[in-house]
């Protein structure tokens, strides 16, 4: 991507050629008409770079932003720039889009975070929104990529055990489902999902609902799974995991 740097106020921002605004969206062509840039440079400035523009310029973050953008166009959804970047940066912790593993992970992130809900405004006109996405991202901090990995691996396990597709189970509340997933240790995840499946419960929203988790914790046959002192149970689980993998 070719960018020019413009000095606006005291900060240098990056401006991709052909765009209507800086990468960070802080300076637009409209703003420039009212108040021109102090300087323009093709070279990256050595100081006073906008930290947000710099984050967006990181190649892996940028590559994920392009992929997310294509998806947003397809579902006609809109994201605030900081949310867009936040998701791209989290995906970058897994790898670049050129890696199959990262693309697989992306499909779960897309289904978990980027499936818009259709709502109606007060005039009855439908619009697309990503409810709860900011709270969901707070549960998946950039500094701790293991949280995102746990959620992705759990969603994958849920699909394989239940035979359902996350892209079709759309009626879940994002932060609530993610918070519940994070409460279940991954070593227990398979047992938890299988237990519910055998009881006839497979829907994503129901499986990863705090009430369901509470109920399972107190049921006799699964209590052991959440009792960390039960050594026999852990041995047994480890064996089962070996058989499965």
Q: Which residue has the tokens 């369901």?
A: 212
SS (H, E, C) 166-225: CCCCCCCCHHHHHHHHHHCCHHHHHHHHHHHHHCCCCCHHHHCCHHHHHHHHHCHHHHHH
Task: In angstroms, give the least distance from the CB of 7 to Zn ion.
Answer: 11
Residue 61 in the binding site for Zn ion (CB under 5 A): no
Task: In angstroms, give the least distance from the CB of 26 to Zn ion.
Answer: 5
Tokens of 166: 């996350």
Residue 13 in the binding site for Zn ion (CB under 5 A): yes
Residue 19 or 135: which CB sits closer to Zn ion?
Answer: 19
Task: In angstroms, give the least distance from the CB of 10 to Zn ion.
Answer: 12
Task: In angstroms, give the least distance from the CB of 113 to Zn ion.
Answer: 24
Count residues contacting Zn ion (CB under 5 A)?
A: 6
> Residue 141: CB partners within 8 Å, gap ≥ 6?
147
Residue 200 half-sphere exposure toward CB, CA atoms < 13 A: 0
One-character DSSP codes across 127-175: EEE-TTHHHHHHTS-TT-HHHHHHHHHHHHHHHHHH---TTT-----HH
Residue 55 or 217: which CB sits closer to Zn ion?
Answer: 55
Task: In angstroms, give the least distance from the CB of 40 to Zn ion.
Answer: 14
In whole angstroms, give the CA distance from residue 101 to residue 82: 25
In whole angstroms, give the CA distance from residue 169 to residue 173: 11
Ranked by CB distance to Zn ion, the top (closest) residue is: 50
Residue 50 in the binding site for Zn ion (CB under 5 A): yes
Query: If you count them, how many residues does the chain have?
Result: 245
Stretch that binds Zn ion, among 43-51, 152-160, 169-177, 232-240 (CB under 5 A): 43-51
Residue 92 in the binding site for Zn ion (CB under 5 A): no
Stretch that binds Zn ion, among 14-22, 36-44, 109-117, 188-196 (CB under 5 A): 14-22
Residue 53 in the binding site for Zn ion (CB under 5 A): yes
Among 5, 8, 15, 22, binds Zn ion (CB under 5 A): 22
Specify whether the CB–CB gap between 205 and 177 falls below 8 A.
Answer: yes
Stretch that binds Zn ion, among 48-56, 71-79, 163-171, 185-193 (CB under 5 A): 48-56
Among 24, 191, 196, 222, binds Zn ion (CB under 5 A): 24
Q: Which residues bind Zn ion (CB under 5 A)?
A: 13, 22, 24, 50, 52-53
């Amino acid at each position: 991507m070719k960018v020019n740097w413009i000095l606006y106020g005291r900060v240098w921002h990056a401006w991709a050629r052909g765009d209507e605004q800086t990468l960070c969206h802080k300076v637009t062509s409209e703003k420039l008409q009212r108040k021109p840039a102090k300087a323009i440079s093709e070279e990256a400035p050595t100081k006073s770079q906008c930290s947000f523009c710099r984050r967006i310029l990181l190649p892996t973050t940028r590559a994920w932003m392009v992929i997310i953008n294509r998806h947003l166009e397809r579902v006609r959804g809109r994201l605030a720039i900081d949310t867009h970047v936040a998701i791209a940066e989290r995906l970058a912790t897994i790898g670049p889009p050129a890696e199959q593993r990262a693309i697989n992970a992306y499909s779960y992130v897309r289904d978990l975070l980027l499936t818009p809900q259709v709502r109606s405004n007060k005039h009855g006109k439908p619009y697309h929104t990503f409810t709860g996405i900011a709270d969901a991202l707070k549960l998946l901090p950039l500094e701790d990529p293991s949280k995102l990995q746990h959620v992705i691996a759990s969603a994958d396990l849920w699909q394989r055990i239940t035979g359902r597709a996350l892209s079709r189970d759309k009626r879940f509340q994002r932060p609530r489902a993610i918070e519940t997933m994070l409460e279940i240790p991954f070593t227990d995840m398979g047992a938890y999902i299988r237990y519910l499946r055998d009881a006839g419960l497979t829907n994503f929203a129901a499986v990863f609902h705090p009430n369901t988790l509470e109920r399972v914790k107190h049921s006799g046959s699964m209590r052991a799974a959440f009792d960390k002192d039960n050594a026999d149970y852990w041995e047994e689980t480890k064996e089962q995991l070996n058989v499965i993998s």
